[in-house]
Amino acid sequence: MNISSVEQLVLRAKLHDADAFAELIQRYEGIALSIAYAHTRNRADAGDLVQDAFLRAWTRLDSLDDPSRFGHWLGRMVRNLAIDLRRRKRPGPMDMSIDVADDVDEVSPIERREQKQQIDRALGSLDELSRSCIVLRYYENLSSKEISELLDLSPAAVDMRLSRARNQLKQRLQPVMEEDDL
């Protein structure tokens, strides 16, 4: 990611350049979605939360002192909104919807739903910070250094969390992976 151009976009956005901010949304939407999903574990809530976070970021850009820390600043905003949402919302059933396009292969909808539930449960067994590391790594392909900057951790701490989380997920998802092999 080109840091200097992100800084320029932030400076332009601070001067109320909406196009520059739209470009920032384009660049950071995946990261924001990853953090939101890691906290809410519900894609619809994550989507709504990211929209709110960007609108809030637009109105509060003046409080961002260092433009190069936009990602970190946005990530913190997403986490705070997720905490607010959790306080407001009582825990309900997880999003079990299945995309129609998912059902075109040989796996039946029931099997797919079971598989999805198992992965959801496995991800749910992780703590929020480790889950954030996993989602940012596997959905956004971020390096440990990039994840560490977003989550206020050291790169070594990110590596450690990723390693432990992967071992935990491997154990929990062993049956799913074996089913896939059959």
Binding site for other proteins (CB under 8 A): 7-8, 11-12, 14-19, 21-22, 25-26, 29-30, 32-34, 37, 43-44, 46-47, 50-51, 53-55, 58, 99, 102, 116, 119, 134-135, 138-139, 166, 169-170, 173, 176-177, 180-181
In the bound complex, what is the minimum distance in angstroms from residue 88's beta carbon to other proteins? 20
Q: How far is CA 2 from the centre of its chain?
A: 21
In the bound complex, what is the minimum distance in angstroms from residue 182's beta carbon to other proteins? 13
In the bound complex, what is the minimum distance in angstroms from residue 155's beta carbon to other proteins? 20
Angle, helix 155-172 to helix 174-181, in steps of 10 degrees: 60
Residues 179 and 155: their CA atoms lie apart, in Å, by 34
Vertex 40: Cα angle to 39 and 42 (nearest 5): 140
DSSP letters, 27-43, are HHHHHHHHHHHHHH--H
Q: Which is nearer to other proteins, 54 or 73 (CB)?
A: 54
In the bound complex, what is the minimum distance in angstroms from residue 15's beta carbon to other proteins? 3
Q: Which is nearer to other proteins, 122 or 153 (CB)?
A: 122
Residues 80 and 142: their CA atoms lie apart, in Å, by 22
Q: 142: which residues sit within 8 A by CB, 6+ positions away?
A: 31, 136, 150
Q: Which is nearer to other proteins, 98 or 154 (CB)?
A: 98
Q: Which is nearer to other proteins, 84 or 154 (CB)?
A: 84
